[in-house]
Amino acid sequence: MQILVTGALGKVGAATVHELLSAGHKVTGCDLAPPVYEGGDFGAHYVQADLTDAGDAFAVVRGIDAVIHCAALPEPTRNPSHTVFHNNVMATFNVAEAAVRMGVDRVVHVSSETVSGMAFAERPFHAAVAPIDESLENRPQDPYALAKVFGEQLMDAMVARSDVTAVSIRPSWVQWEGNYERSLKPWLSDPLGGEGSVSFWSYIDVYDLAHGLRLAVEGSTPGHEAAYVVSADNGAGRPLGELVAHHFGEAVSVAEDLAREDAGGISYAKAERLFGYRPAHSWRDYLDESGSLLDAPRERLARGETSVQRGRAALRAR
């Protein structure tokens, strides 16, 4: 397929570009950064585009078979609230509108675990059951989570008025060689300390997420489906029941039929059922039990051999 990856220079977009190229697809990536004009064919085409502009969105979607929409401001605290909401909603609206008018077959929309509303809530709350699944009500408070909920509704509207099919992928906290240690070391070094995680210590390896996005775009599910894509284990390396009991007590019940003792706090069962997703990576591939980065991933990162770095190189990123 000819696949457009938006937000292609971000960690998720770049890893997805590499995954798609490895699978034999033709890839165009777009992002806000300027293109690099020197050099030969690195395997993918890059176009600078601002998707909040409808003209840019229509231009990059034209001639595309499928879109994987990764582009977004990735959380609500580093930009003004109205900027986060406007950027993320309008980019998704314009991509959906262009997909309908340009005859795209499928859109895979990168949503978020934050649609539940818990991650950045000003008035904190948590789920009553672990692991979390798609039956949990969406109760967003912050502009990022609100925009992701609106994005899923835009997918509903898109498939209702056209032949485009869609999947909204809800990743948990995305990790790769460049941030595993910084992100998960606090959990691993003191799993029973601090405040409890409202995602119940869920995370997702970027290699698994990129693979899940490829499976979703290659799939043939009708209409629009939303599914969590997460890792099989939790990022604290302890039994989920122990973690939940310590931090949440009887306020959260843990399922008795966990696939593993150290299961993640969000279920990927729907993604497995819909398009065969199964995670293949764990924090243990990168970190020791204390949360320090192992030599092999550190060396991969230094040599520029990670999926994120290779994806960016394929787009002639500087």
Query: 2-314 domain in CATH 1.10.357.10?
Result: no
**Burial bucket for residue 294 (CB in 10 Å: 0-12, 13-18, 19+):** middle
Report in angstroms the alpha-carbon separations of 295 from 28, 288, 298, 300, 301. 33, 10, 5, 9, 10
Q: How many CB atoms lie within 10 A of CB 188?
A: 20
Render 83-145 in DSSP notation, one character per residue.
HHHHHHHHHHHHHHHHHHHTT-SEEEEE--GGGGS-TT-SS----SEESB-TTSPP---SHHH
Domain boundaries, the chain: 2-314
Contact assessment for residue 33 and residue 48, using Cβ atoms and an 8 Å cutoff: yes
The pTM of the full predicted model, rounded to 2 decimals, is 0.97
d(CA 273, CA 315): 33
Strand partners, 205: 175
Q: Please list the rounded mean pLDDT of every run of 10 residues in the chain (318 residues).
A: 97 98 97 82 87 98 98 97 98 98 98 97 96 97 98 98 98 98 96 93 98 98 98 98 96 95 98 98 97 98 96 80
Q: Tell me what pLDDT residue 40 has.
A: 59
Can you give the pLDDT at residue 313?
92
Cα separation, 283 vs 291, in Å, equals 9
What the block records as the tokens of 179 is 């941030």
pLDDT of residue 318: 45
Q: Give residue 103's pLDDT.
A: 97
pLDDT for 316 equals 76
Strands annotated E in the chain: 2-6, 26-31, 44-48, 66-69, 106-110, 129-130, 165-171, 174-175, 204-205, 224-229, 253-254
> Which pair of tokens denotes residue 273?
């059922």
